[in-house]
Amino acid sequence: MIIPILIFSIPIIAILSSSYLKLQKLKLESGSFPQDKELKRQLGKLIAENEAMQERLEKVEYLLLDQKKEAPSRKKVDLSDFEKEQIKLDDHDKWRY
């Protein structure tokens, strides 16, 4: 009794599922999904955010490269010389008080 039901139900399920898939494909092609407009709006928002982030990144890269170019012209302070000078000043000021 179960075997004939299974035998006849398989083609019926196949027909129904193929018609359902065709209907969904037609809806997709016609753009009649209600979520389609929301997805397009969200996609536009994400694209705009992405462009803004790219612009900010380009500005940061420019600033970093500009600082690297200026770095050789800056005078580097040798900390050992600085510390020696501080010790001299401290020794000199130590006797003032």
Listed by start position, the domains of the chain span: 1-31, 34-72
pLDDT in tens, 60-69: 888 887 766 6
pLDDT in tens, 10-26: 888 888 888 889 988 88
Rounded Cα gap, residues 34 and 36, in angstroms:
5
Rounded Cα gap, residues 85 and 44, in angstroms:
61
What's the predicted TM-score (pTM) here?
Answer: 0.38
**39 vs 36: which has the higher pLDDT:** 39
- Inter-residue contact 33 to 27 (CB < 8 Å): yes
Backbone angles phi, psi at 34, to 5 degrees: -70, -25
Helix (H, G, I), strand (E, B) or coil at 68: helix
